[in-house]
């Protein structure tokens, strides 16, 4: 496996420059058809004052919210259980046989060697066994696939990209589009390990040596990148696309949101289809709401295969879920101080999710002012600070992490047993329940079959209504726990298997 060296901060800076260019409406030059509009490019504090400030932040909904970021994931699997139904729709009623072993799949000996000796896989997960025959078998139909976090989706599309490469052609042949730099780095890491024994070359937008001029060309066979930088490479013809056989969108629901990457994703698909009408498109995510699912199927076309786990099976029954109704917003902080932080030594690790950056900062300061050790992370922190916070939490140096939704997706720390939704997840309007974000948040606990619990702190009819809607959507009861009864709270933790 030949891969370009990586420097994680480089792609972030480029994407920020492109975003600035987009806001200024600057024109691009020499863009190919379909891309005419593509642009290059802790202090001592008063706890009472902080609690009052938190009430204000929660009340007005200001303070800056973060979209999910996707840091490095671990390599374990949260397999779909045998009881759960995997819904498949095969194009033209094409029969596919589920794979019982990787040896049954049309994979080269070098890729099998990577799976067995480098990845240490023994057999396909249920999702892999279902989707890989669809992906790897001629005529290489497109696929829309959704399943649990950690169920093995990355293996599916990385194997697909590696298996479609013709080693004799030194041109980009497989392209993976990711919403964030962290996910680019994660997917490149998996690709390098899986393709270790092959001669396939790969690069990414996180690589350090691609400060290209227009006379330079990318000739690696697999390219993984963020949306903005890949657009820039394509518009400047730095990355040739004539030989691309397969296009992957990871976290595809994010890539197809109307207020996100949807229009740019469609332009990319249209451009690549002009040179290869048989382009295989793979859309993977842990969550697809009905609107995004229908849109995704239209994007890839009627000849695509589909694999879905019903949403009621996605509520992660392994994670015990509870609601804590607090009479006032300030009571949420008291629940943390009186019920959660005193148990931190027994609980493993805890993530507390808040809605806004200001709430994260204020809650962190209030907890530390009261003598509780914790840390926090928000999207406006610089990369070095974010990396330090994540590293300390991964190594267990800190037990409690306060986070905005920047860590709602893809953040895997196996010792996390408790997730607390200090603010129930809502969409950007501040009122509509964010069902997919809820699923991703609580999925940070109970990873890879371990025990986990999620407590939802709600105050007032609006927050209670949001949680009721989430409960109804996933058809999963979320029972109440008193906010001021420590004995009941401790018993719930014991019943969930988190304390002895």
* pLDDT for res 216: 78
Once rounded to an integer, what is the mean pLDDT over residues 220-224?
97
* pLDDT for res 247: 97
| Average pLDDT along the chain | 79
Phi first, then psi, for residue 351 (nearest 5°) are -115, 130
Q: How big is the chain by its Cα radius of gyration, in Å?
A: 23
* pLDDT for res 459: 96
Q: 3-state class of 109 per DSSP?
A: helix
Last residue in a domain, options 278, 313, 348: 313
* pLDDT for res 217: 87
Same structural domain, 19 and 118: yes
- DSSP code string of 340-361: IGGGTTTS-EEEEE-SBHHHHH
- DSSP code string of 92-108: GG---PPPSSGGGSS--
Q: Does an H or E element contain 440, and which? A: helix 435-442
Same structural domain, 213 and 85: yes
Helix axes 435-442, 461-474, angle to 10 degrees: 80
- Domain-located, residue 104: yes
Buried b (16+ CB within 10 A) or exposed e, 351-386: bbbbbbbbbbbbbbbbbbbeebebbbbbbebeeeeb
Q: State whether the Cα torsion 471-472-476-479 is positive or negative.
A: positive
- Domain-located, residue 49: no
* pLDDT for res 143: 94
* pLDDT for res 378: 85
Range(s) of the domain holding residue 229: 2-39+77-313
Dist CA 402 CA 358 (whole Å)? 11
Give the least confident one: 15-24, 222-231, 327-336: 15-24
- Domain-located, residue 296: yes
pLDDT at 491 over 80: yes
Same structural domain, 140 and 159: yes
Last residue in a domain, options 256, 287, 313: 313
Same structural domain, 272 and 337: no
| List of residues 6+ apart from 50 with CB closer than 8 A | 362, 363, 365, 366, 369
- Domain-located, residue 258: yes
pLDDT at 471 over 80: yes
Confidence of residue 77 (pLDDT cuts 50, 70, 90): very low
Select the highest-mean-pLDDT range: 159-168, 291-300, 433-442.
159-168
- Domain-located, residue 60: no
Asked whether 354 and 422 are in contact (CB, 8 A), the reply is yes
Which residue is listed with tokens 């303070």?
A: 63
pLDDT at 11 over 60: no
Once rounded to an integer, what is the mean pLDDT over residues 326-347?
89
Q: Residue 433, class by beta-carbon neighbours within 10 Å (0-12 exposed, 13-18 middle, 19+ buried)?
A: buried
Per residue in 257-287, pLDDT (tens digit) is 756 678 888 899 999 999 999 999 999 887 7
Same structural domain, 447 and 378: yes
Same structural domain, 228 and 325: no
Break the chain down into helix, strand, coil percent, rounded to 5: 40, 15, 45
Structure tokens, 466: 């949001």
Per residue in 456-468, pLDDT (tens digit) is 999 999 999 999 9
- Identify the CATH number of the domain in which residue 406 sits: 3.40.50.300
Confidence of residue 385 (pLDDT cuts 50, 70, 90): confident
| List of residues 6+ apart from 343 with CB closer than 8 A | 490, 493, 499
Per residue in 310-331, pLDDT (tens digit) is 655 555 566 889 999 999 999 9
| CA neighbours closer than 13 Å in the CB half-sphere of residue 20 | 7
Structure tokens, 441: 């948040």
Q: List residues bridging with 419 in a β-sheet.
A: 351, 454
pLDDT at 449 over 60: no
Once rounded to an integer, what is the mean pLDDT over residues 78-104?
65
pLDDT at 78 over 60: no
Asked whether 453 and 420 are in contact (CB, 8 A), the reply is no
* pLDDT for res 347: 81
Helix axes 181-194, 8-24, angle to 10 degrees: 140
* pLDDT for res 311: 58
Q: Does 416 or 212 have the greater pLDDT score? A: 416
Using a pLDDT cut of 70, give the percent of the chain over it: 74
Same structural domain, 247 and 327: no
- Domain-located, residue 428: yes
Phi first, then psi, for residue 477 (nearest 5°) are -65, 135
Same structural domain, 253 and 206: yes
Same structural domain, 300 and 344: no
* pLDDT for res 184: 86
Same structural domain, 81 and 91: yes
Asked whether 145 and 282 are in contact (CB, 8 A), the reply is yes
Question: What number of other Cβ atoms are within 10 A of residue 49's Cβ?
Answer: 13
- Domain-located, residue 57: no
Per residue in 13-42, pLDDT (tens digit) is 333 433 443 333 333 333 333 333 333 333
pLDDT at 63 over 90: no
Asked whether 300 and 282 are in contact (CB, 8 A), the reply is no
Same structural domain, 240 and 352: no
Same structural domain, 276 and 375: no
- DSSP code string of 222-278: EEEEEHHHHHHHHHTTSS--TT--EEEEETHHHHT-TTTTHHHHHHHHHHHHHH-TT
Last residue in a domain, options 313, 340, 358: 313
pLDDT at 215 over 80: no
* pLDDT for res 373: 87
Q: 3-state class of 284 per DSSP?
A: strand
Once rounded to an integer, what is the mean pLDDT over residues 56-66?
57
- Domain-located, residue 433: yes
Could you give the number of structural domains in the chain?
2
Q: Does 53 or 118 have the greater pLDDT score? A: 118
pLDDT at 405 over 90: no
């Amino acid at each position: 496996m030949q891969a370009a060296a990586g420097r994680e901060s480089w792609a972030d800076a480029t994407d920020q420059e492109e975003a600035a260019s987009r806001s200024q409406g600057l024109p691009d030059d020499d863009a190919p058809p379909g891309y005419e509009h593509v642009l290059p490019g802790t202090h001592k504090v008063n706890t009472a004052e902080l609690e009052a400030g938190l009430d204000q932040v929660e009340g007005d909904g200001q303070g800056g919210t973060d979209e999910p970021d996707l840091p490095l994931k671990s390599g374990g699997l949260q397999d779909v259980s045998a009881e759960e139904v995997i819904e498949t729709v095969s194009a033209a009623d094409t029969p596919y046989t589920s794979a019982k072993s990787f040896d049954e799949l049309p994979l080269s000996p070098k890729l099998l060697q990577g799976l067995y000796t480098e990845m240490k896989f023994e057999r396909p997960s249920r999702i892999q066994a279902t989707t890989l025959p669809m992906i790897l078998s001629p005529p290489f139909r497109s696929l829309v696939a959704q399943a649990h976090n950690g169920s093995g989706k990355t293996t599916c599309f990385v194997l697909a990209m590696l298996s479609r490469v013709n080693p004799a052609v030194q041109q980009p042949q497989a392209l993976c589009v990711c919403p964030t730099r962290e996910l680019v780095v994660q997917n490149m890491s998996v690709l390098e390990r899986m393709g270790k024994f092959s001669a396939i070359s790969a690069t990414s937008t996180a690589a350090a040596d691609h400060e290209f001029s227009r006379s330079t060309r990318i000739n690696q066979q697999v390219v993984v990148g963020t949306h903005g930088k890949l657009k820039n490479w394509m518009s400047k013809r730095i990355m040739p696309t004539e030989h691309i056989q397969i296009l992957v969108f990871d976290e595809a629901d994010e890539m197809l949101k109307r207020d996100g990457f949807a229009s740019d994703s469609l332009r990319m698909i249209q451009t690549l289809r002009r040179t290869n009408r048989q382009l295989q498109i793979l859309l993977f995510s842990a969550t697809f709401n009905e609107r995004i699912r229908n849109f995704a199927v239209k994007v890839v076309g009627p000849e695509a295969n589909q694999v879905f786990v019903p949403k009621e099976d996605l509520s992660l029954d392994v994670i015990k879920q509870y609601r804590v109704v607090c009479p006032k917003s300030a009571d949420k902080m008291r629940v943390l101080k009186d019920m959660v932080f005193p148990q931190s030594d027994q609980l493993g690790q805890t993530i507390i999710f808040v809605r806004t950056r200001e709430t994260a900062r204020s809650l962190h300061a209030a907890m530390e002012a009261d003598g509780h050790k914790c840390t926090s992370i928000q999207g406006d922190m610089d990369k070095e600070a974010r990396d330090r916070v994540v590293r300390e939490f991964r190594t267990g140096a800190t037990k409690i992490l306060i986070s905005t939704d920047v860590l709602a997706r893809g953040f895997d720390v196996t010792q996390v047993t408790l997730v607390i939704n200090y603010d129930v997840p809502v969409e950007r309007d501040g009122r509509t329940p964010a069902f997919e974000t809820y699923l991703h948040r609580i999925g940070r606990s109970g990873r890879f079959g371990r025990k986990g619990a999620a407590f939802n702190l709600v105050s007032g009819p609006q927050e209670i209504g949001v949680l009721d809607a989430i409960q109804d959507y996933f058809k999963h009861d979320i029972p109440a726990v008193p906010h001021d009864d420590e004995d009941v709270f401790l018993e719930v933790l014991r019943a969930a298997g988190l304390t002895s």
